Amino acid sequence: MNDEIARPCRKSRVVQHTFVFAAILLITAVVLHLSGRVFWCQCGTCVPWSWDIWSQHNSQHLVDPYFFTHVLHGIALYGLLHWLWKSAPVSKRFWASILLEAGWEILENSPLIIERYREATISLDYYGDSIANSLFDIVACAAGFLLAARMKPSHSILLFLATELLLVLTIRDCLTLNVVMLVYPLDAIKDWQMAF
Contacts of residues 78-81 at CB distance under 8 Å and 24 or more positions apart, as own/partner, are: 78/144, 78/145, 78/148, 78/149, 78/156, 79/148, 79/153, 79/156
Say if residues 69 and 167 touch (Cβ distance below 8 Å): yes
**Which of 8, 44 has the CB closer to Zn ion?**
44
The CB-of-117 to Zn ion minimum distance in angstroms stands at: 19
- Min dist CB 60 to Zn ion, Å, is 5
Q: Shortest gap between Cβ of 43 and Zn ion (angstroms)?
A: 3
> Between the CA of residue 51 and those of 47, 64, 98, 137, what are the distances in Å?
11, 5, 25, 15
Q: Residue 122 or residue 132: which is nearer to Zn ion going by CB?
A: 132
| Shortest spacing between CB 149 and Zn ion, in angstroms | 34
- Using alpha carbons, select from 127, 115, 129, 117 the residue that is nearest to residue 173: 117
Minimum distance from residue 145 beta carbon to Zn ion (Å): 28
* Helix, strand or coil, per DSSP, at residue 63: strand
Which residue lies nearer to Zn ion by CB, 43 or 107?
Answer: 43
Least distance in angstroms from the C-beta of 46 to Zn ion? 10
Closer CB to Zn ion, residue 69 or residue 130? 130
Q: Is 130 helix (H, G, I), strand (E, B) or coil?
A: coil
Cβ nearer to Zn ion, comparing 109 with 156: 109
What's the CA gap between 163 and 41, in Å, rounded?
A: 26
DSSP code, position 49: B
Where do contacts with Zn ion occur on this chain (CB under 5 A)? 41, 43, 57
CB count within 10 Å of CB 121 equals: 19
